[in-house]
Homo-oligomer: A and B are copies of this chain.
Amino acid sequence: MTTARFDYAPLLPPGLPAAAAKWTGLAKYSFVGGNNDMDQVPVEGLTAAANAAMLREGRTLATYGLASGPQGYLPLRTFIVGKLKRDASIDCTADDILVVSGSLQALDLVNHSLLAKGDTVIIERDCYQGSINRLTRLGVNIVGIPLDDDGMRMDALATALEDLKAKGIRPKYIYTIPTVQNPTGTIMPESRRCELLALSARYGVPIFEDDCYADLIWNGERPPALHAMDKTGSVIHIGSFSKSIAPALRVGYIVAPWEIMSRMLALKIDAGSGALEQMVLAEYCVPHFATHVPKATRGLRAKLETLMDALNEQFGTAAEFDEPKGGIFLWVKLPANVDAMKLYQAALKAGVSINPGPEWSVDKAYAGSHIRICFASPTHDEIREGIAVLADVCRQEFGVPERIANVEKRARG
């Protein structure tokens, strides 16, 4: 179609990320990407919701923002208010909520409202790759706080805050995924949340609370959100429907005081997030969310069992993990001689995609032998088969796991 090609290279600005590679499809055994379980998408309910909402008010699609203003479709915001009250003990109004295009846009809006190059932020040492990458691209200094079974360690946080203060540095925020942490799957208990809020107040550092996996807890019980426990407006809370309903619907939300919400709104110059998805979600969630989520979570829990069994069977004691309290991923420690980045590459060639630990941690050395395995999307059979292939690859590359079978289930947690 073209002859002498125009050369864009001299026009590219400095600091651009590397060019994307061509997409070649999902791996046969895909344990990455935060995808969900196809069987759990409430297709009939969403279809009925689309019907009802469209026939009643589809005409409003003619107006940007559905005449609900830039903060998003009002019935969806109203639903979120009720959901947050019921599930997370958050008291807020529809005016405190900004509907966004997935929690990734929430990350961008919060970051761009608060961060400049050279700023410092505090996050959990092992953390969602998308959060780490965004901060790296912004040229922000990242201080990683180690985690234990109860999430971010407060002794380490206190030390870090004091050290920074001694250097005259006030971090811009403390980012945490306190409720089903990614990748560790921990839930921060209420007492530790109190400590975190006290440290936040003492050092004048706001908390950025990412609750996007919080709906998926096996027993359905969770502590109040940090936002709910705060009385000063120092917590910016974000959430998502990607995990509870469907990830390809790009709908998330931010709960924040107007002082910072008004800054985020000024940066949200996209003429609103997708209105049909907001309409369908509101219509579906009002009657069905509270029953759908426990059902979906039971399905995820069953897949986790299959994954843990497969790991125990295939890897034996070579795979160490704490049983997560909810979510869609398992954080697995392999023997120290396993290079997770190399394992990732070799497994991909064998049709198995996993997340290598160094991409999910700010401490690349610590996470060098860790991998993250997402278990929501593959079927039970695919989980068993994929983990068997992964074990074979790992054995070929690193000599572990040794060829053993049916060892006793072993979990640290």
| Chain A interface residues toward B at CB < 8 A | 1-23, 25-26, 33-41, 43-44, 46-47, 50-51, 54-55, 58-67, 69-71, 91-92, 101-102, 104-105, 113-116, 119, 130, 133-134, 170, 172-173, 206, 230-234, 242, 246-251, 257-260, 262-263, 265-267, 269-277, 280, 376-377
Contacts and interface: CB of A to CB of B under 8 A. Distances in A.
Given A6-B232, A267-B17, A246 B62 contact: yes
A11 B263 CA distance: 12
Contacts of A257: 2, 5-6, 8
A67 B28 CA distance: 12
B54 A40 contact: no
Contacts of A23: 69-71
13 contacts: A11-B206, A12-B113, A13-B116, A20-B70, A26-B67, A38-B60, A41-B58, A43-B59, A50-B50, A250-B271, A250-B273, A250-B275, A276-B276
A275 B246 CA distance: 10
A118 to B, nearest CB: 10
Given A20-B262, A36-B62, A206 B270 contact: no
A102 to B, nearest CB: 6
A35 B54 contact: no
Contact of A19 (B230, B232, B262): B262
Contacts of A280: 50, 276
Lowest 10 A-B CB distances belong to which pairs? Answer: A248-B275, A13-B116, A274-B274, A23-B69, A20-B265, A43-B58, A6-B234, A61-B246, A19-B262, A36-B62
B104 A269 contact: yes
B41 A247 contact: no
B47 A55 contact: yes
A97 to B, nearest CB: 13
Given A47-B58, A277-B277, 10 more contacts: A3-B232, A11-B172, A16-B113, A23-B69, A38-B59, A47-B51, A47-B54, A50-B280, A61-B248, A104-B271
Nearest to A259: B8
Contacts of A71: 23
Nearest to A56: B43
Which residue of A6, A66, A270 has the most chain B CB atoms within 10 A of its CB atom? A6
Contacts of A8: 114, 206, 257, 259-260, 263
A64 B33 contact: yes
Contacts of A13: 114-116, 119
B37 A62 contact: yes
